[in-house]
Amino acid sequence: MSEGGGWSTIESDEGVFTSLIENLGVKDVQFEELISLDADTIRSLSPVYGVIFLFKWIREQQQPSATTAAPISSSSQQPPSGTYDTSPPPSLFFANQTIQNACGTQAILSVILNHDDAASASSTNPSAAPAIAIGPELRAFKDFTTGFPPDLLGEALSNSEPIRTAHNAFARSSPFVDEIVRPHQDEEGGDVYHFIAYTPVNGRLYELDGLQPHPISHGDCTPEEFPDKVIGVIQQRIARYPEGETRFNLMAVCRDLRVRAREFGDAEALETEERKRRAWAWENTLRKSNFVGFIGEMMKGVAGMKEQEGKFDEWVEGAKKETQRKLLRR
């Protein structure tokens, strides 16, 4: 798998993911963080297209990745849970991850592009969620890549300028240019995290992980059964981690909750969702700001005030001593 290649790390956040797909032209879909790991919470958001799961990636627990492994030829070479589907439905969108930092957006598209109008037309389940309007950019991408094998589809996704631009719009702003290529790590402990998708497609529950050579099937699954079955699969996965590990994040991909509120005439729920959107917009604005100019001007103001008071030198010396005390405590 290639390094960053122009893809920045983005935060696992419902507001970020919702705004990202809206920037790509997707309509009436949002992400909702799931605080509790239970099926009723997912059902309360119905219709749900899938879930995005973020977890700490442990190398020794993984099967060989799609970019390094030989083709699966033995039934013994299987994932810890579920089975590789080596002959998935032609309509299933599954791409290998070929570049670092793209796994979040790739997991998002693994749900969205398996529930657009073309995918829904191939489904025989009348209870499936309404088709997603994916917009012209993603429609052109999907039409162009139809029939691509997973590795080539992953390359096409990684080299898609509209998708990369939408992804990078939510990268943390920095006033400095870092030309050193670094691993995709957590800032504090150096741990590596990975996004995957779970979604019901053509009557089966699929785990779509770009680091795996094939989509992973977890058996028969209707949209109504999805909440119970996906929670069971995720609980099995979490059970493989050491006791006490809590660094997981789960988000549902659901219909825009404002649409449902309007349909039911629920003014209170609609206002709650509108407030949430305003908060997301504010938080996304802060993410794109580096505040260097603001901090510089603030420091100039404080320094000017201290000079007027005749306390500038005293203030500087006090700051130096406090810095030394902090260094000694390390």
The residues annotated with a catalytic role in the active site are 103, 194
Cβ pair 115, 199 in contact under 8 A: yes
Q: Residue 45: which of 125, 129, 132 has the closest Cα?
A: 129
Contact predicate 181/189, CB 8 Å = no
Sheet holding 249-255, edge to edge: 29-33, 249-255, 48-56, 193-201, 204-208, 216-220, 83-84
Cα(71)–Cα(244) distance, rounded to whole angstroms? 36
Token pair, residue 121, equals: 């037309």
Tokens linked to 308: 């007027």
Tally Cβ neighbours within 10 Å of residue 25.
Answer: 15
Nearest to 210 by CA among 68, 19, 90: 68
